[in-house]
Chain A
Amino acid sequence: MDIFSHLLLGVEVAFTPVNIFYCFLGALLGTLVGVLPGLGPTATIAMLLPLTFSIEPSSALIMLAGIYYGAQYGGSTTAILVNLPGEASAAVTAIDGYRMAQQGRAGPALAIAAIGSFFAGSVATLLVALFGPLLILIAQQFSPAEYFSLIVLGLISSIALAHGSVLKALAMIFMGLGLGLVGTDLYTGEPRFNWGIIELADGINIVAIAVGIFGIAEVFRNLERKGNEGEAKVAKVGKLLPTRAELRASAAPILRGTAIGSLLGVLPGGGALLSSFASYTMEKKLSKDPSRFGNGAIEGVAAPESANNAGAQTSFIPMLTLGIPSNAVMALMIGAMVIQGIVPGPKVMTDYPELFWGIIVSMWVGNAMLVILNLPLVGLWVRLLSIPYAILFPAIIAFSVIGTYTVNNSTFDLLLVIGFAVLGYILVKLECEPAPLLLGFVLGPLLEEHLRRSMILSRGDPMIFFERPISAALLVLAFIVLLVLVLPTVRRKREEVFVADD
């Protein structure tokens, strides 16, 4: 089957009324949480994960995907109009976007952000369709040794995503690996770290971890500020259409942002966040007059907004083809597949082609919906900004708690939620980022399985990981990534880049 018949299958799946509905729902929810500061896509997907239990796998993933890239659109609205990143990856958009709004050019900034996002989203979707199957062909040649090394690379790269100390991020990965051990030993069926608690026999429920660490811990963080929510000052939108000059100035940055985002999205540890920061830095470097940046340069909106949406789309490639998530949201998508009884990995495309191609085509559909949702309806979203946190956070709590309970009808999972919320909050206060922990948790069982299978294949000789060329290359790459991350110059650069996030 060639790409067209594949895409045709995707069109058939994505254009069923049910899936259009879920795609729309995802895009809508994504825009909503993107617009609202204090509620991000990770927390939302964690919260809604239990609800996807009762719907078709492809509809579930289509909706969750919509939330992720929808949040990239919505995040820019808040960034431009209120100077608050509604979503972390829109932080750099606020720098020039808000300046433009102050100059009375909020409309064009919003329009360019949406146009750039849509262009980037369409290109990146096509890239997923083209390169996904190729990657699967390669992945089919992988033995356990290559998988082991690939997972190591993925875990190490996730450090790039976290700010602060590399050592702490590494320790958080190990903590996640440790939590992933709980349950039953895969090979012998022997119980492991579950102390006879029936609810732990299949391991810790990923929903409990995600809801605790990303949903409720985040509420603690928002509640620590006293008398928060001062009325947000919302800039006037004004006329939407950008001038010809503005369009011309944005064309190249949109292209470059799309390229960077697509590339960084595929890399393990990449995704929307890294992409937008990297492309903003690049535009500033390339500009003839860098001083314009920070003073309302439209390139400073066009490039990062294109990049974060491209990155959001292409980060599906490793998740869909290899079963290796590159960031926390993708880790939750893996969780969603597992809940549905689908084993993530290269077999997903052949075993569930309608799921694979349906998601890809729906991404394009979703992006088209988002342009409509975000441009003409921008006034509606702006009004949402006045929803006080006093109402928002009890809703987050209620949905998280009821949702978690419904996965297994388990009261035990709710106790876990409390535990992980407190633990996650304290770790964040100690400047340990939670994303690597979640990746470690999801990838831990896979890492162990492939390690043990490799060692059986090699008769106990660990050199197998270095004798096989692809595996060796992946490990060397992981080592280089680690080395680069601890280099003093890069360390300073990362600190610089992440400052805007705080």
Chain B
Amino acid sequence: MISDKKSLYSGLIFCLFGAFLFIDAWETLEIGTALRMGPGYFPIMIGGGLVLLGVAVMFSGRERTTFDFRALPWRAIVLLSVAILIFTYGLRPLGFVPATALLVFIAAKARRETSLQGALLISLALTAFCTLVFIYGLSLPIPLFGSLLGV
């Protein structure tokens, strides 16, 4: 077993990405020759190189390391992703102000210690600031309130 888990996992990521590039290029793109390189020639080189490097990284570990997926800051990762997703799909129907307020509120709560009132305050202040900068300062063509809200 490889005891350097950080090398093992990063090596795996490199291998997977490299293999994907290699196989996809091999199957869908014309490779060509060294003289007339097709669209697939360079991708094959990069993909192949990445697989080799990935394998080398996997076995390059010199010390014992661990990597615990459960120890990742899942609260932050999930809440921030959700916040961005809500902004992404809420911007059109809701409009700039509500979408930004939701984005900031949920993001602020990604930090456990921030209280509900604190998050609300941060959300209010930053939404006002962002509206000033983006809508009035940079005059972005996004409606302040969307059609869904009937304004």
Chain A residues within 8 Å of B, Cβ to Cβ: 51, 54, 165, 167-168, 170-171, 174-175, 177-178, 181, 185, 187-188, 190, 192-193, 216, 219-220, 223-224, 226-227, 389-391, 393-395, 397-399, 401-402, 405-406, 411, 414-415, 417-418, 421-422, 425-427, 429-432, 444, 448, 451-452, 455-456, 459-462
Contact = CB atoms under 8 A, between A and B. Distances in A.
Interface string B50-91: 100110110010000001000011011100110111011101
Interface in B80-133: 80-81, 83-85, 87-89, 91, 100, 103-104, 107-108, 110-114, 118, 122-123, 126, 129-130
Interface string B16-34: 0110010011000110011
Output the residue of A167, A171, A429, A451 with the most chain B CB within 10 A.
A171
B103 A418 contact: no
Contacts of B57: 165, 167-168, 171
A398 B103 contact: yes
Secondary structure at chain A's binding surface: helix, strand, loop or mixed? helix
A223 B104 contact: no
Output the residue of A51, A185, A399 with the most chain B CB within 10 A.
A185
A171 B6 CA distance: 14
A240 B73 CA distance: 42
Given A168-B10, A398-B100, A188 B107 contact: no
A225 to B, nearest CB: 9
Given A223-B76, A422-B77, A455 B89 contact: no
Contacts of A224: 72-73, 76
9 contacts: A188-B39, A395-B129, A397-B107, A414-B85, A414-B88, A417-B84, A418-B81, A425-B77, A456-B35
B134 A402 contact: yes
- The range of chain B's interface size is 35 or more
B118 A390 contact: yes
A425 B74 CA distance: 12
A455 B73 contact: no
Contact of A178 (B9, B50, B77): B50
A421 B17 contact: no
B113 A192 contact: no
Contact of A177 (B46, B67, B88): B46
B13 interface: yes
A216 B110 CA distance: 12
A165 B14 CA distance: 14
Nearest to B83: A397
B56 A167 contact: yes
B104 A394 contact: yes
Contacts of A389: 111
A406 B35 CA distance: 42
B47 A54 contact: no
A171 B54 contact: yes
Given A193-B43, A398-B130, 4 more contacts: A223-B111, A394-B107, A430-B13, A455-B34
A51 B113 CA distance: 32
Contact of B89 (A193, A226, A391, A411): A411
Going nearest first, the 9 A-B pairs with the smallest beta carbon separation are A460-B35, A185-B39, A430-B10, A223-B76, A224-B73, A171-B53, A460-B34, A414-B88, A394-B108
B138 interface: yes
Contact of A414 (B9, B47, B50, B84): B84
Contact of A429 (B72, B83, B130): B72
B107 A393 contact: yes
B49 interface: yes
B18 A174 contact: yes
A176 B104 CA distance: 31
A393 B54 contact: no
B74 to A, nearest CB: 10
Contacts of B53: 167, 170-171, 174
A314 B56 CA distance: 35
